[in-house]
Amino acid sequence: MPYLVREHLFIGNISDAADILQNGSAEITHMLSVLSSASISFFTEWRSSLTIPSKEIKKVYAGGSGDGGSGSVDDLGDGSRSCLSPTKLLYSLEYAGKDLKLVRMTVPIRDMESENLLDYLDVCFDFIDRSRKEGGVLVHCFAGVSRSAAIITAYLMRTEQLSSEDALESLRQSCESVCPNDGFLEQLKMFEEMGFKPDMFKDAFGDKQCIMISVY
């Protein structure tokens, strides 16, 4: 069962997401899936008995325009550059679930300490904000413990001007089990030091980084 974090904002795991995709929800109209694969087939690979209809809206690649093409890594429209590979998927957007009524965005992030979380925060924030205005949004990963928790913690940091520790503690008031991996925790501290805006010239691992900003 998803946990309510803020008004119209929920956190959960893959089982919660599958239940909503199969049966629908009066409260949740949008879903942010933070999984290693963007494909809806991830659910059927997890549980073979599941059949979840979906209809693609778009896929956005680093440097791309959102039309399914890879685009140019330099062409971000705001003078900035993305250090994501031009063939790397930034996010996918689709209608999914019962009667294709739910809007689902998937961000392909692995639950690994070396995974760069910062590149994806802006698109996640935009989707969460829009989803909360239009209905309710479930942010989930596989276990509902690390990746989804890191995204929501960063979201609370920016929207409520909280430190990484205070934001995570606030999230734990809703869901005690959340525990982002150490790499994500380090990046959340870096995000705080950046003033809640990813720095396009560095990341938590000391490497040069540029941020791709793209919304649907």
Residue pair 118/158 in contact by the 8 Å Cβ criterion: no
- 3-class state of residue 138 by DSSP: strand
Spatial neighbors of 129 by CB under 8 A, at least 6 apart, are none
d(CA 154, CA 150): 6
For this structure, is 141 an active site residue?
A: yes
Among candidate residues 83, 124, 141, 175, the one labeled active-site is: 141
Largest CA distance in the chain: 47
Spatial neighbors of 21 by CB under 8 A, at least 6 apart, are 31, 43, 52, 96, 97, 98, 102, 104
Active site residues: 141
